[in-house]
Structures are given as structure tokens and as C-alpha cells.
Amino acid sequence: MATIQWRPEINSMTTPQSYWIRFLPRNVASKADMAARMAKVLPNYSEEEFRTFIDLHNQLIAESLSSGEQVTEENAFTYSLAFTGRLNSPDDPLPPLDQCLQVRIYASQPFVDSVRQAAKTERLPLEKKLPLIATAKDTVSGLKDLLNPAGVLLLTGENLFFDRTKPDAGGCVIEGTRSGRTAQSRFVRIEPGEMLLMPEIPAQANPWNNEYTISVSARYSERGTLRTGTYSRMLRAPLPVNGFASETGILTGRASNPYVSITSGSVSADETLRIQVTLDLRADVLLFNLADMQEEGGRTGAAVTVTGNGEQTLAGFSGSTVSSLTVRVNNFAALKELIRDSYGGRLTDILEVQAA
């Protein structure tokens, strides 16, 4: 069994000087990694089946919590809810749930004991900072993980600062998952905890390839090595829909053919909106709907259940100039896999729809 790696790090808060004990993961095991390991232990089941089991397990826990239940898995984990915040009066209403409702996960003592008993540690030398991008947000629309060519992208995290006046001190790169790579040059602000930039987005091989990664590199001393941190989530750029004389590919990753295409629609005026696809693991279906540009509390059209390839008509939402869009699912299986493995169960594209 591999060792647990740790390193001492300076704690600048104390006098005399002391050190944090910092755990350093040697690897991040993804859902796909865990499914592969399960399939080796139980070869009667496939990796695909185990990925489905993991997703279903998580979905059922979320449903139980949303129903006000606590979930306790004996000798493993307890999932519970908690409220944060303060009321000035016992009659005050709750703050918005996105501000006060928290999910708590606790490891049971037997589980902790089993990890401790099997663990062997390895001390690493004092050093090594690494840029960490925790969140990415378009400050114009307020949407997370949106790469808006007309916006300003806000990155938050740790150790993001580099001196852009020095050519080898570091940089920021946006790279397409299919093709294209651009070093960024239009910075508004660079600080250790956040970075503001006007994104320069490289073109990719096909119009529907609108999926990107972003990374930050920094050198923390004059002779130090250049260290790079890559954001764990994908960024997506808006897709123009210039009428319906030709089809528009959407909701795709790096594939050479679009998983979904817009074939027609009813539009009275230009509008920018979102198209969302949510994976329902229990029913093994995809739910498509149109929505406005507000992530929280916005207007949405009715969800359409999709079970395979073929055309579907999506209704607009209240007040929208887009009455409907007709989409054709070209590769249902690949779309479902993309949403499950890379987007945590929900994929959204921004559509800049122009009236014909």
C-alpha cells in the first residue's frame, strides 16, 4: 500500500514560528477510477454499472436530505443538514437557503480507526506552493464557469499571483479540449487569492467545440521551478445561433460531431438564454429545458424527457422572445456519458439566438 504524504508548512500566524502539518494527495481518484477499482474486485459487474451505482447512491442521498432525512451508513458516513446564520427575532423567516442551508458529512469512528490502522506516512521536504483555482465566474452575467468573450473572468483560489512584468514568472492559459491554446494578456488584477482577466478565447476545430480548460502557472522564487495549477471544472463559451438556415451544434465536448443540433425554432427577437440538460439516473433519462440567464430563481421552460436519439421541441419560458427551439439528439449515449463523467449530472450551454 502506498504511503500518506505530508509536509511541514510555515504557520505565519504564530510567534515563535511553528508549522502546519499539510496532507498532500498523491492522486485524485475520480468516479471513473473508483468504478474501475470496484470492477476489479467484483468482475461480474462492469465499470459502467459501477459508475451508475455511484451516481445513484449520491442521488438517493441528496433526495433523502432534501426530504429532511439524515442518512447514516453504519461504520462509514453520516450525511446531515445544518443551518448557518442568525435571526434577530424568533419570528424572522429563514434567509435564502443558498445562504444558510449546509450539507455536513461525518466519518464514523470505526471508519476513521480502519484508515489509521492501515496508514503509513511519508514526510516530504518543506516547500512547494502550487497555484490553486477554486472557482471561475463571468462577472458580467454572474454565471459560473462561463467563458464570455465580452466579459471579465474572475478566478479565485490560492497562490495565483505572478509578476506579469517578468517574462518567465508565470502566466495564464486557456486551452480548448479539442484544439487551440492562448496565453492570456489582458489582466485587470492579479493577486494571490484572485485574478481578473478579459479572456482571449482560442478558436477550435468545430463551432460546437466550446469546451475549455484554464490554468495558472507561477514561479515563486527567482530560481524556482514553474508550477502549474489547472481548474478542475470545464469552462464553456457562448454559442451563436444565427437563424435556422443551417443547423447549430451544441452540448458537446471535444467530439468531431455534435451530440445535439438545433434544427429550427420560433424567435421574435434576438435573445441570449441557456439550454440545460440534466441526467436523471433513477429513470436513466435526460431532461432538456430552456432557461433565462439567472442561475438562482430564474425563469425556465417546461422540461422535456429524452430517452434516445431524435428530435424534441423545447418550449420557451415566460417573457422570452424564443417561443420554442427544436433540437435533435444525435448521440444520446455519448451525451449522457459526458454529463455524468465531466459535468456532475448537469450540462448547460449559453445560446445567443438571433431572429431569422
Q: Is the pLDDT of residue 127 over 80?
A: no
CA nearest neighbour of 174 among 210, 136, 214: 214
Three cell numbers written together for 294 = 439567472
Three cell numbers written together for 122 = 511519508
Rounded to two decimals, the pTM is 0.69
One DSSP character per residue, 40-97 reads HHSTTS-HHHHHHHHHHHHHHHHHHHHTT--EE-TTSEEEEEEE-S--SSTTPPPPPH
Q: pLDDT digits over 332-345, tens only?
A: 999 999 999 889 89
Q: Is the pLDDT of residue 12 over 70?
A: no
CB-based contact 182:204 (threshold 8 Å): no
Per-residue confidence band for 52, with pLDDT thresholds at 50, 70 and 90: very high
Residues 188, 34: Cα–Cα separation, whole Å: 40
Average pLDDT rounded to a whole number, residues 46-73 = 96
Question: Among the ranges 123-132, 211-220, 221-230, which has the highest mean pLDDT value?
Answer: 211-220
309-to-101, 158, 264 alpha-carbon distances in Å: 38, 43, 17
pLDDT at 248: 97
Residues 176, 312: Cα–Cα separation, whole Å: 29
Q: Is the pLDDT of residue 324 over 70?
A: yes
Q: Is the pLDDT of residue 14 over 80?
A: no
Q: Which fold has domain 24-85+94-123?
A: HU Protein; Chain A (4.10.520)
Per-residue confidence band for 26, with pLDDT thresholds at 50, 70 and 90: confident
DSSP strand pairing (346-354 vs 239-242): parallel
132-236 CATH, one of 2.60.120.10, 3.20.20.70, 2.70.50.70, 3.40.50.720: 2.70.50.70
Q: Look at 3-17, 214-228, 285-299 and tell me which has the smallest mean pLDDT.
A: 3-17
pLDDT at 247: 97
H or E stretch including 216? strand 211-218
Domain ranges of the chain: 24-85+94-123, 132-236, 239-354
pLDDT at 262: 98
Per-residue confidence band for 244, with pLDDT thresholds at 50, 70 and 90: very high
Residues 203, 348: Cα–Cα separation, whole Å: 20
Sign of the CA dihedral running 115, 119, 123, 129: negative
The conformation of residue 11, written as its DSSP 8-state character, comes to E
244-to-199, 285, 330 alpha-carbon distances in Å: 29, 27, 17
Q: pLDDT digits over 143-197, tens only?
A: 999 999 999 999 999 899 999 998 889 999 999 999 999 999 999 999 999 999 9
Helical segments of the chain, H only: 31-41, 47-66, 97-100, 109-118, 332-342
